[in-house]
Amino acid sequence: MSSATPTTGSAAQAQRLTERPAWKALEDHYATMRNLHLRQLFADDPHRGERLTAEAAGIYLDYSKQRITGETIRLLMRLADECGLRERIAAMFHGERINVTEKRAVLHTALRAPETAQIVVDGVDVVPAVHALLNRMAAFSLQVRSGEWQGYTGKRIRNIINIGIGGSDLGPVMAYEALRYYSRRDMIFRFVSNVDGTDFEEATRDIDPEETLFIICSKTFTTLETLTNAHAARAWSLRKLGDDRAVRRHFVAVSANAEGVSRFGIDTENMFGFWDWVGGRYSMDSAIGLSTMIAIGPENFRAMLAGFHAMDQHFRNAPFAQNLPVLMGMLTVWNNNFFDAQTVAVLPYERYLKRFPAYLQQLTMESNGKHVTLDGTCVAYQTGPIYWGEPGTNGQHSFYQLIHQGTKLVPCDFIGFCQTLNPIDSQHDLLMSNLFAQAEALAFGKTGDEVEAEGTPGWLAPHRVFEGNRPSNTLLVKRLTPRTLGLLVALYEHSVFTQGTIWDIDSFDQWGVELGKALAQRVAPELEGMDEPPLKHDSSTNALIRHYRHLKNGPL
Ligand code: F6P
């Protein structure tokens, strides 16, 4: 039920986080935990590796290699209760306006609700509209996949270019790469996001406009990068197709701004809409996923939505101590706020998930990179950590050195699949043995005694010591499918929400992107033309602009 007035957080939030009894208890508890080694914790409890695990909807989470005890979990769950997480989850699922600064409901969960569900926003059940849109997307996808939707000159569409940025790009490109195994191999899918002309040029240089369909994705249809690339796309198409009427067959839009779409010249009949209660970084299973649906087909797309929904149900209903997103979110709070870990490394041992860390960067950091609470007070504690990562095993030959022996604590999320999609001899076992070994090495390390016992000379021994005690989660899934991808993404979405609730911040706005955008608009005209413009920036920005203009306008 949507409320007419913005929700400014539950009564529970009136108390500051660091004054909460559970927070204070966690501070005391941390003092007893900070020097405890995982070696000791495992030695004390032979069943720890089975006990500190949870499983839901086909995702197995092992969090036994976190620097915790049962007491830590008990206190973290108490903190979640004190912060009103249960009520906040209910408020989100009921369509309350929990995005307080934009006065919006946050209902990405409605995008994957079954037809039988009822979710009311401003007195209207949104579920029928969600399914009507999905059906339209499905019909269009089938037309393109079958060749029934032809280009202006009658040729079959073979190339799909998604133009969008942020949430209108990262979800689609991640999902396409993740589900490439299930995709149409006789079609090309590319993603243009950057205002850097190279992005567009490289995406189009070897394809034929007569066989190319552009999907212009922009919730607002005002985003500079997307509109610039959309104009470049139209010019590129019309150079060959020659006739404005061709736009109808080669351009569709996904947007909440029908006026902007038609001003650009795309017939609103070729527009797939969505709603202001879907945030950009939470939109990959809205019409923003049109390229995904064309790639993998409507049935697979619906299977992905079913995975999202299964995790939604789990998050909404499971007790906190067995609730995967709650556990992962609260463990992040533990590492971030007590162990002072500044980052989280996401390490999928699955090549198809190569864009998953990049996707998570927007999801986590645009959501929780905030410095004030819901009521505008400056926080007195750390909020969202930096998320980063690369697929294994490549990262092992790059940055793992720092994770193992550096001076920073980097909690890791390892993600692995038990069945590979591409079996070649025993390569998958090799891949997975690396995942298990890395988590083991991080947790237990190698002591000075062990190094010496190997006959390492004394001068070299310190270099070969691994102190261990470096925390990680391991997520194991049977197989990468559309459904399990949906489960995984929803798991992180709700973990982000859990963290944001504890920090009492608005995880659904993104004011931090505005200032740079506005300044760029001021700078852009100062870079044009041959006459030196008067510059009124700081001395550094002024000098950089002059240097740029000098070289730009000089000889090659
Ligand atoms: O970077 C800010 C942002 O608003 C993101 O939140 C969003 O995903 C992206 O820009 C793209 O916005 P739009 O879909 O409106 O073009």
Q: Does any ligand 1 atom lie closer than 6 A to the CB of residue 171?
A: no
Per the DSSP assignment, residues forming a β-bridge with 378 are 372
Say what the pTM is.
Answer: 0.96
Q: Is the pLDDT of residue 483 over 90?
A: yes
Give percent above pLDDT 70 in the chain: 97
User: Which ligand 1 atom is the nearest neighbour of the CA of 510?
Assistant: 6
pLDDT level of residue 3 (50, 70, 90 thresholds): very low
Q: How distant is the alpha carbon of residue 449 from its chain centre?
A: 42
3-class secondary structure for 290-322? HHHHHHHCHHHHHHHHHHHHHHHHHHHHCCHHH
Residue 526 annotated as catalytic:
no
Residue 366 annotated as catalytic:
yes
3-class secondary structure for 209-272? HHHEEEEEECCCCCCHHHHHHHHHHHHHHHHHHCCHHHHHHHEEEECCCHHHHHHHCCCHHHEE
**Residue of 436, 435, 419, 393 lying closest to 481 (CA atoms):** 419
Mutate to test the pocket of ligand 1, among 104, 510, 517 (most ligand atoms within 8 A of CB): 510
For residue 176, report the distance from its CA to the centre of ligand 1, in Å: 19
Question: Exposed, middle or buried: residue 525 (CB in 10 Å: 0-12, 13-18, 19+)?
Answer: exposed
For residue 466, report the distance from its CA to the centre of ligand 1, in Å: 43
Query: E strands within 65-138?
Result: 120-121, 124-125
pLDDT level of residue 556 (50, 70, 90 thresholds): confident
Q: Is the pLDDT of residue 220 over 90?
A: yes
Determine which one of 47, 371, 397, 552 is catalytic. 397
Q: Does any ligand 1 atom lie closer than 6 A to the CB of residue 510?
A: yes
Q: Does any ligand 1 atom lie closer than 6 A to the CB of residue 512?
A: no
Alpha helix stretches (DSSP H) within 147-169: none
Residue 397 annotated as catalytic:
yes
User: Which ligand 1 atom is the nearest neighbour of the CA of 164?
Assistant: 16
For residue 355, report the distance from its CA to the centre of ligand 1, in Å: 18
Kindly report, residue by residue over 459-470, the tens digit of the pLDDT: 999 999 999 999
The token pair at 78 is 């108490």
Determine which one of 366, 390, 493, 526 is catalytic. 366
Kindly report, residue by residue over 528-542, the tens digit of the pLDDT: 999 999 999 999 999
The Cα 214–Cα 432 span in angstroms is: 39
pLDDT level of residue 14 (50, 70, 90 thresholds): low
Kindly report, residue by residue over 20-64, the tens digit of the pLDDT: 999 999 999 999 999 999 999 999 999 999 999 999 999 999 999
Instruction: Please give the average per-residue pLDDT across 500-520, as a whole number.
Output: 96
User: Which ligand 1 atom is the nearest neighbour of the CA of 225?
Assistant: 16
The Cα 140–Cα 122 span in angstroms is: 30
Q: Does any ligand 1 atom lie closer than 6 A to the CB of residue 513?
A: yes
Per the DSSP assignment, residues forming a β-bridge with 254 are 217, 272
User: Which ligand 1 atom is the nearest neighbour of the CA of 167?
Assistant: 8
Residue with CA closest to ligand 1 atom 3: 166
Residue 440 pLDDT: 98
Kindly report, residue by residue over 397-437, the tens digit of the pLDDT: 999 999 999 999 999 999 999 999 999 999 999 999 999 99
For residue 185, report the distance from its CA to the centre of ligand 1, in Å: 30
Residue 15 pLDDT: 74
405 to 400, 413, 443, 462, 470: CA distances (angstroms): 8, 18, 12, 11, 10
C-beta of residue 372 within 8 angstroms of C-beta of residue 379: yes
Kindly report, residue by residue over 254-264, the tens digit of the pLDDT: 999 999 999 99
Question: Exposed, middle or buried: residue 191 (CB in 10 Å: 0-12, 13-18, 19+)?
Answer: buried
Question: Exposed, middle or buried: residue 285 (CB in 10 Å: 0-12, 13-18, 19+)?
Answer: buried
Q: Does any ligand 1 atom lie closer than 6 A to the CB of residue 402?
A: no
For residue 228, report the distance from its CA to the centre of ligand 1, in Å: 14
Residue 12 pLDDT: 45
Name the more confident of 9 and 483. 483
Q: Is the pLDDT of residue 165 over 60?
A: yes
User: Which ligand 1 atom is the nearest neighbour of the CA of 170?
Assistant: 8
For residue 414, report the distance from its CA to the centre of ligand 1, in Å: 29
Residue with CA closest to ligand 1 atom 6: 280
The Cα 385–Cα 364 span in angstroms is: 8
Residue with CA closest to ligand 1 atom 10: 166
Instruction: Please give the average per-residue pLDDT across 169-197, as a whole number.
Output: 98
Q: Is the pLDDT of residue 8 over 70?
A: no
The single residue listed with the structure tokens 């090309």 is 188
Q: How many angstroms separate the most distant Cα atoms in the chain? A: 78
Q: Kindly report each contact of residues 6-9 with a partner whose C-beta sits within 8 Å and lies 24 or more positions away, as own/partner.
A: 6/97, 6/100, 6/103, 7/91, 7/96, 7/97, 7/98, 7/100, 8/100, 8/374, 8/375, 9/84, 9/100, 9/373, 9/374, 9/375, 9/504
Q: Which amino acid is it at 348?
A: P
Write the DSSP assignment of 60-73 as a string of letters. EEE-TTSS--HHHH
Q: Encode burial over 53-68: b for 16+ CB neighbours within 10 A, e otherwise.
A: bbebbbbbbbbbbbbb
Rg (CA), the chain: 25
Instruction: Please give the average per-residue pLDDT across 187-215, as a whole number.
Output: 98
If you average pLDDT over every residue of the chain, what do you get?
96
Instruction: Please give the average per-residue pLDDT across 308-337, as a whole number.
Output: 98
Residue with CA closest to ligand 1 atom 8: 167
